Structure 1
Amino acid sequence: MDAKRTAKEIYDILGGKENIISNAVCMTRLRVKVREDADVEKLKKVDGVLNVVEAETLQIVLGPGKVNSVGDEFSKLTGMPLGFSDNNVEDVAKENKKANKQKHNGPVQRFLQKIANIFVPLLPGIIAAGLVMGLTNAINVSTKSAYSTVWWFAAIRSIGFAMFGYLAIYVGMNAAKEFGGTAVLGGIMGSIFVANPALPLLLKVEDKSAVILPFTGKPFAPGMGGLLASLFMGIIVAYLEKKVRKIVPVMLDTFFTPLLTLIIGVFIALIIIQPLGTVITAGIFNILDFAYNKLGILGGYILAAGFLPLVSVGLHQALTPIHTLLNEPTGPTQGINYLLPILMMAGGGQVGAGIAIYVKTKSQKLKTMVRDSITVGILGIGEPLMYAVTLPLGKPFITACLGAGFGGILTVLFHIGTVSQGASGLLGLLILKDFGAWPYYIMAMLGAYVGGFVLTYFFGVDDDRIEDIYGE
């Protein structure tokens, strides 16, 4: 972007000096007060302009760093001193996140967003049910199942079963809905993968499976791969429904479209999708087993250090179904997720980097940004710190990632696991597998803090870059 040309184009569209009352910049925007309204759509088409917000002053979003160079050139054209208009960390983070999203919004990210849209509505239930399962399991172990026959304890424990036992149904419904199909059809497909003894496919005669599937020559096994199979079938059912509706006469649509969709769908599910889901699920567990058990602390370092770059481009959404898979009580890890605590260290590396920047920088504007975002960062909400501070500066983002790796090492050494998802930072304490893991989690997080702080303090603070973006 040529700052001089961008400033001139904006100046001309706004009507020149005669129409401009004042000009100022904030962290991301050129703010211009005009006498008569300008052509906003033309402004949006100017090279370098990310967005235009119409308010008391016209706010032309240019992004951090760029706004200062364009502002200086604009001030020369107007002959007016360039003022500075402060704005809070949330505004800066939102603008930077929006600009970053526009930069990394390809078909892969859009597809992963759809997958995330399937699982995110389920998170409140998964979090609550996971906490219930973890707490009641801890009580059972400590009391030798003394409460297992007490009605109120059984009722509370049933909450966890109701969520995880029928999770395939919820996933199937959301998948069908997200991809434009009828939710209940996806739910019916998902129910095929629920291990219910009354399911005709699971019929037993003299304690032996009576129903044998073609091609495999084996009985139907709904558990392994069932969650991914229900996800795939929800998507397929949505596609099938649209295709079937095109060939079924309108007057028969209500009856035959869902019927044909389900009949075709169940054969696809049993012959293709369920075996495929089993293979993929086994592959995921093998990869995670290799990273965690074979690579050990090196795997912990790589996973923790590599997570923030995934977040910055939106690819972290692909991990949501994997976390859900790991928290299934009937899965290979028995509901304990050893991956999530490692990834949670990424936020700790950022917090350490933020503290280092605050200590070392002389820029009051940057200090304000860090101070406003560090508290929520400690609690596990890292977007303000990442999008307003570390990512725009570049080097601190890298040192934060590398520092987070030390927290990942400690997480593997301490064998920290979670029973749910949806929390991070210090709030991650609430989803650990037991209370005994609390001190180890805190030590691991402190390791990420220290790693991020030390690397950023000595290698990540670039005063020239800070001055370019935030000023002196």
Structure 2
Amino acid sequence: MKYDSLARDIIRHVGGKENVIDVVHCVTRLRFRLKDEGKADTERLKAMDGVVTVIQSGGQYQVVIGNQVAEVYDAVLEAGGFGNAVSQEEKPEQKGGLMSRLIDIVSGLFTPVLGVLAATGMIKGLTGMLAALGILSTASGTYQLLYIIGDSMFYFLPMYLGFTAAKKFKLNEFVGMTIGACLVYPSLTAIMAGEPLFKVMEGTILQSPVHLKFLGLPVLLMRYSSSVIPVIIAVYFAARLQNRIKKILPDVVKGFLTPCITLLIIVPATFLVIGPVATWMSQIVGAVTMAIYGLSPMAAGFLLGGTWQLLVMFGLHWGMAPVGLNNLVTYGYDAVTVLKSATPIVTACVVLAVALRTKDKKMKGICWPACISSLFGVSEPSIYGVTLPLKRPFIITLLCSALGGVIMGAFQTKAFMAGGMGIFSIPSYINPETGIDGSLYGYLLAIVISGGLGFILTWFFGLSPEKKEDSASSSASDIVINSPLRGRVIPLDQVEDEAFSCGVMGMGAAVIPSEGRVHAPVDGVVTALFPTLHAIGITSDEGVEILIHIGMDTVKLNGDGFKAHAAQGDRVRKGQLLVEFDMEKIKQAGYSLTTPVIISNTPAYQAVTVLAQTGDGAGTENGAKISCEDGLLCISTC
């Protein structure tokens, strides 16, 4: 890791890991609780490169790091072997309904693996392209190895999500990974390919083969490869079970008995419960789609096209596999499962619009490879990296994919062979007997109309309107940051906390609030909202990173007296209410209300200037009054 050396030095100079009770971090600093602060070498720590200063306050030994605190914290955990110590940043405030929270959880679990997911998606798509163009034979070793590189992460996705979900839900990460590994264990595929022991619900649409039994109970197996929701559910309950087990077991056996008992209960329960539910639901999806297609191909197209990405997330899309295979074998073509075929192209168009529209450099970096892999039929990087986290593009994708299904249903589009994904599935729609006919025209028309509409809707409605520059109020090279609070302005160097007053965290100003309401100072995205709600990070549409730290040491209130009106990841407009806080409660607890407003990425700009306000006839230095409509800082970009 980048900060390994710094982390080791910090641990050594706080008295060694045996002197550390625990360590967390907030927005700027590592907060140690030490057994004996006298063992810490404060002066040596202050002199270290990478350490801004050291503050001893409120029973905490605070090592101020700055903007890299999260990365240094991770390095400290690893170097000290502190395990899953909980940082103040790890649990963003969750807002919204159940579905919104589920989407936030799913997209958050993909964040650590997005780069690799996009890379393997491109490799998988390019491999498919080379095969479709006849450059590589699918029987060649080169193709097979490239396909393994591109497909392995998607096939074993539950293992990766088992790890990230375990970190999210505070389960041992390797227990989470083991749960995911059990779901995609290769022998299960071989068992499913064999003759079943017997069938349950025979003669109904829920008829299912039973290939093995566990303690006499029938186990319905399904394909969990590439699925998302099953492993998340399993890990969530595993984490809750683990916490209960730890309270019961004596310390001497917790280390090995806790994961042992957790796995012995959760893995069989997952197969016994999730397996049947998912199997029957996928069979219902297949049966319902076939029935609706018999009544109206367009209605079936709307249903399948509009829900396909949701089915993939829950692992229910496998119910369509036997339908498509049976149609190809029986009729020589498949007109049902192809109704979802516009989805990857629609996804690519939606992501392209996001890439061109957004000013978020990180999002742009995800969008381009995700867009390319979607064109090749691999949409997971786009779903979990772009559309699902942004929510509105995901809804647009579902609606436009439904339209694509309707168009293909109207043309009764047929695929005459299996194979090929995304744009390379085009040859599948050419009739081997009559050549080009309505099937190909239907597919092409569907992807052009639904993809084009997806691009247009995303361009205009997928993201909040970008901030328009006001040339009358500032020059083209200046960005004005409004005050997030009503109150009095003081210079940053008058703030009592030297982590802010010395300017190392970034330049800015401070506001002594006259009311307990924090408003968005710019149009942008809430990039950090700590669970204690004492600090908010916003990135403006121009890329300015703004940190609003409500009061001094208010992290210790643990959120008491604070109320959030926005969530991490939300787009906000200038003036929108973000957080309310109880000024009296904070003062009674003995904490200062002085609120620094700083530009975290100050080095990226020519200058950060405090805009002096003279509402009461005094200069800024004497505590001028300011409102949320007033400019607080001016950022010079050139």
TM range (shorter): 0.3 to 0.5
TM-score (norm 2): 0.35
Which structure has the highest strand share of the two? 2
TM-score (norm 1): 0.45
Which structure has the highest helix share of the two? 1
Greater relative CO (CA pairs within 8 A, separation 6+): 1
